[in-house]
Amino acid sequence: MPDTLLPDTAMSITRILPGQPAAIAEAAGLLAQGHLVAFPTETVYGLGADATNAHALAALYAAKGRPRFNPLIVHVPDTEAARKLARFDARAERLAAAFWPGPLTLVLPRAPGCAVAPLASAGLDTLALRVPRHPIAQALLRTLDRPLAAPSANPSGRLSPTEAAHVSAGLDGKIALILDGGPCTVGLESTVVGLAGPQPLLLRPGGIAPDAIAALIGPLGLPPDEAAQAALLSPGRLAAHYAPSLQVRLGATSVDPNEALLAFGPNVPAGAAVTLNLSPTGDLLEAAANLFAHLHALDRPGLRAIVVMAIPDEGLGLAINDRLRRAAKPRAP
C-alpha cells in the first residue's frame, strides 16, 4: 500500500487537466489507489484524499506540510451518502435540505461503523461533512463513490487557492493531478457549524451567513474559549480534546508488564502487556496512518499507562509528536 504513494512525492511536475469526463475518471482512479488530487469546489480548490485510506490521509498531511493533524472536512455527493457516515438529527436534516449542495460544513457525531479513517478527524468522535455544489467536485465524488477528505489545496500557512495555477504554485510535484475548473465562484471557505452538542456552534465563518443558518435552527453559539481559538485561529488545537483515558508516557526505552507499548521502528523493548508498532520499518508516513487507530486500540481499562517510544521530530514526525505530547499532558482524573 505505501509504495503506491511514493510517486506523488517523487514526481517533479504535477499535471493540470481541464475537468472533463476522462480527466475526472482518471482522477477518481488515482484517488482510489491512494494518490492525492486537487479539484475545484465552489469555495476554494480542495486537496483530495480517499477518506477511508489512512495512508492516503497521512500523505495529504505530508503534502500540506502541516505541523499538526487538524481534522479535515470530508466531502460526499449528497445527504444520503453523508447519513451513512454521521448521525443526523432534525437540525442537521434541516440545514442539509436548505444548503446542500453548497458552502456549508456540518460537524456531527460519527455513525457507528463509520468508514472514514480516524486520522481524517484527528481522532475525534465527530466528523466534518460537506456536499459541494461545483459540477466537477460532484462528478468526481460520484465517480469515486467514496468519501473524499479535502482541506484547501495549499501548503500549510499559505492562502487558500481559488485557481488551478495557485494550486500548482504551492503543491507542484507533491500531488498526482490537478483538475482545472477555472476560478472558484465563492472564493470563501465553507461555514462550519458544530452540531455535536445541544447548542449549535459557529466553528468557522464562511460562505453562508450565520443569520441564514440561525433562521432555521436558532441562534448559533460561539465555541467555548479553547475551541474558539481552535476553530478560528488554529484549527488543529481542537484536537486537544482528544486524549486516551490511560496516562501516556513519552520517550520510553523500557516498559512494565502492566503497560501498553506504542512502538516505533525495529528495536522494540519486550515485556509490555500489549504492543502495537506504528511502523516496524520506522516509516513516518505509515506511523501517521496508524497513530489514532493504535492509540484507541491500546487504551484498555485495567492497564496503567500507554508508553510511547521516541519518534523523530522531522516531517510527519512533527505532527505525530505534537499530538502525542498533548495526549501525555497531565489532566484531571
Q: Which is nearer to Mg ion, 42 or 259 (CB)?
A: 42
Q: Are 278 and 286 in contact (CB under 8 A)?
A: yes
Q: How far is the CB of 73 from ligand AMP (least distance, A)?
A: 5
- Does 204 interact with ligand AMP (rule: CB under 6 A)? yes
Q: How far is the CB of 223 from ligand AMP (least distance, A)?
A: 9
Q: Are 287 and 318 in contact (CB under 8 A)?
A: no
Q: How far is the CB of 260 from Mg ion (least distance, A)?
A: 35
SS3 195: coil
Q: Which is nearer to Mg ion, 52 or 152 (CB)?
A: 152
Total residues at interface with Mg ion (CB under 5 A): 1
CA distance 251 to 10: 32
Among positions 111-130, residues that touch ligand AMP (CB under 6 A) are: 121, 124, 126-128
Binding mask 59-78 for ligand AMP (x = CB under 6 A): -----------xxxx-----
The DSSP call for residue 270 is S
- Does 131 interact with ligand AMP (rule: CB under 6 A)? no
Taking residue 109's Cβ as centre, other Cβ atoms within 10 Å add up to 18
CA distance 330 to 209: 39
Query: Which of ligand AMP, Mg ion, none does residue 107 bind to, with CB < 5 to 8 Å depending on kind?
Result: ligand AMP
The residue behind cell 526505552 is: 253
- Does 107 interact with ligand AMP (rule: CB under 6 A)? yes
The DSSP call for residue 167 is H
Total residues at interface with ligand AMP (CB under 6 A): 21
Q: CA geometry: angle at 234 spanning 232 and 238, to 5°?
A: 90
Among positions 73-102, residues that touch ligand AMP (CB under 6 A) are: 73
> With the CA atoms of 306, 312, 315 and 321 taken in that order, what torsion angle do they form, in degrees rounded to the nearest 10?
30
Q: Which is nearer to ligand AMP, 46 or 77 (CB)?
A: 46
Taking residue 207's Cβ as centre, other Cβ atoms within 10 Å add up to 19
Binding site for ligand AMP (CB under 6 A): 70-73, 105, 107, 121, 124, 126-128, 151-152, 189, 192, 194, 203-204, 231, 235, 238
